C-alpha cells in the first residue's frame, strides 16, 4: 500500500488524476493530511464515499506511531519509531526522535537517516553504521505522530544522520512543512544541522530558508579531521567561506555547534582560533559539554573552561551560549542516539 504522507501537492494532483478523481480533491487531501492531520482516509469527510474508496484501494495515510518511549527526569522524551528506509534490504529499522520541552518552547529533534556515514569519533549514531536514508514520509511521520505534535514550536534536524547526505528527502520534507498547502510552518522555526559536505551543503542553503547549524568541534584542520572524517572532503575553512556568501544579518541564523572535550579543545588557544576562523561572519556559537558514549575514551570538560571560552568569544563579537544538556539520563543528549535494535 502506498503512502499519502510525504506527497507534495503536485504529486497529489497526479495521484487523483490517475484515479479518475476531480483535480480539486488534491488540495482537499493535502488539507486533511497536513493541516487537520487525519489518521485515516475515512476521516476525509468532504471527499465522496466513492472517492474515499478509490483512494483507500491504492493508498493509506502512511503514519506509524512510536513503539516505545523514555522520559528523562528533565522532561525530555525519546521516542522509538519503526521505519521502512531505502537500504535495499527488507528489514524493519528503527530511529529515535527527541521531544524537548522548555517553557513556552517545544522542540522536536528529528532523524533523517538510520545510522550515519560521517562516523564522527564522539557520536554514538555513527558507531552503528549506515543502514539507509529516510524518505520524506519517514521524516514527516516523526513530526506527525509524536503525542506532543500540537505543542511543537521548533524542529531541528539534529537527530540521527547527516541532513546534507539525504538532501532530497530532507528538502522535500521541509517544502511540505513550509508550504501554504502543507504544514504552514515558517522556515525560521526549523534548523538544519550539517558537518559540511561539498556540493550538498550549498543545496541546503539555496533550497531552504531554514537556519543552518554547522558541527565545528575544532577550528584546527588536523584535529577536526581526527574527530570528524568529513573534514578531509570539505575542510571547515571552506565551509566558512561558503557561508560568507549568504546573508545571516536578518532573520535567518547561522550557528556553530562546538562540543568541548576536557584538555583537548577547551583552552584559550581554541577560543582564539575560533574567533579568527569566524571573524566577520554573522553567526553564533553553541558550546556543548561532551556526553560520554561507550568505548570512546574522550574526556568531558569543566564548566569553568566552557565559561572562559564563552566569555572570550562574546568579548570578540561572537554571540556564544553554553547549551544545557537535556535527556542525558535516557541517552537522548547530543551524540547519544543509537537505536541498539539496528545492530
- Tell me, what DSSP letter sits at residue 318? -
Select which of 85, 96, 109, 210 is catalytic. 96
The answer to whether 115 and 165 have CB atoms below 8 angstroms apart is: no
Select which of 85, 254, 283, 334 is catalytic. 334
β-bridge mates for residue 105, sequence order: 102
- CB environment 161-187: b (16+ within 10 A), e (fewer): bbbbbbbebbbbbbebbbeebbbebeb
β-bridge mates for residue 343, sequence order: none
Strands (E), 153-303: 154-157, 190-194, 211-215, 254-260, 284-289
Within 10 angstroms of residue 64's Cβ, the number of other Cβ atoms is 17
Q: What are the φ/ψ torsions at residue 80 (nearest 5 degrees)?
A: -110, 125
Residue 57 has which C-alpha cell? 484501494
Residue 47 has which C-alpha cell? 471527499
In sequence order, the 6+-apart residues with CB closer than 8 A to the CB of 80 are 66, 67, 68, 69, 94, 95, 96, 339, 341
254 catalytic? Reply is no
334 catalytic? Reply is yes
Distances in Å between the Cα of 67 and the Cα atoms of 79, 81, 167 are 8, 6, 27
β-bridge mates for residue 321, sequence order: 286
For 57-71, what is the HEC assignment?
HHEECCCCCCCEEEE
Distance of alpha carbon 288 from alpha carbon 309, whole angstroms: 11
Distance of alpha carbon 250 from alpha carbon 52, whole angstroms: 45
* Length of the chain counted residue by residue: 343
Give the catalytic positions in this structure: 96, 334
Amino acid at each position: 500500500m502506498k503512502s499519502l504522507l510525504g506527497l507534495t501537492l503536485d504529486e497529489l494532483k497526479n495521484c487523483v488524476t490517475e484515479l479518475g478523481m476531480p483535480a480539486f480533491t488534491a488540495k482537499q487531501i493535502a488539507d486533511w493530511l497536513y493541516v487537520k492531520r487525519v489518521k485515516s482516509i475515512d476521516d476525509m469527510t468532504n471527499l465522496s464515499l466513492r472517492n474515499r474508496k478509490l483512494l483507500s484501494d491504492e493508498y493509506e495515510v502512511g503514519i506509524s506511531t512510536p513503539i516505545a518511549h523514555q522520559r528523562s527526569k528533565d522532561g525530555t522524551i525519546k521516542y522509538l519509531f519503526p521505519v521502512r528506509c531505502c537500504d535495499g534490504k527488507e528489514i524493519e529499522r528503527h530511529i529515535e526522535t527527541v521531544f524537548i520541552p522548555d517553557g513556552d518552547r517545544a522542540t522536536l529533534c528529528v532523524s533523517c537517516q538510520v545510522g550515519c556515514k560521517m562516523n564522527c569519533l564522539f557520536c554514538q549514531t555513527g558507531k552503528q553504521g549506515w543502514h539507509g536514508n529516510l524518505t520524506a514520509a519517514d521524516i514527516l511521520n516523526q513530526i506527525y505522530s509524536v503525542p506532543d505534535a500540537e505543542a511543537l514550536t521548533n524542529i531541528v534536524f539534529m537527530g540521527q544522520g547527516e541532513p546534507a547526505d539525504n538532501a532530497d528527502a530532507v528538502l522535500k520534507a521541509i517544502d511540505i512543512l513550509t508550504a501554504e498547502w502543507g504544514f504552514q510552518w515558517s522556515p525560521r522555526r526549523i534548523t538544519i544541522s550539517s558537518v559540511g559536505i561539498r556540493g550538498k551543503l550549498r543545496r541546503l542553503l539555496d533550497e531552504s530558508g531554514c537556519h543552518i547549524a554547522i558541527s565545528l568541534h575544532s577550528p584546527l584542520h588536523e584535529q577536526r579531521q581526527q574527530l570528524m572524517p568529513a573534514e578531509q572532503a570539505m575542510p571547515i575553512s571552506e565551509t566558512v567561506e561558503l557561508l560568507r556568501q549568504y546573508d545571516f544579518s536578518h532573520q535567518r541564523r547561522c550557528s556553530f555547534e562546538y562540543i568541548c572535550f576536557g584538555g583537548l579543545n577547551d583552552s584559550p588557544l581554541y577560543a582564539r582560533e575560533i574567533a579568527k576562523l569566524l571573524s566577520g561572519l554573522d553567526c553564533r556559537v553553541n558550546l556543548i559539554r561532551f556526553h560520554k558514549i561507550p568505548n570512546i575514551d574522550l574526556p568531558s570538560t569543566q564548566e569553568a573552561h566552557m565559561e572562559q571560552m564563552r566569555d572570550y568569544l562574546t568579548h570578540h563579537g561572537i554571540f556564544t551560549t553554553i547549551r544545557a544538556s537535556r535527556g542525558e539520563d535516557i541517552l537522548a543528549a547530543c551524540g547519544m542516539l543509537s537505536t541498539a535494535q539496528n545492530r
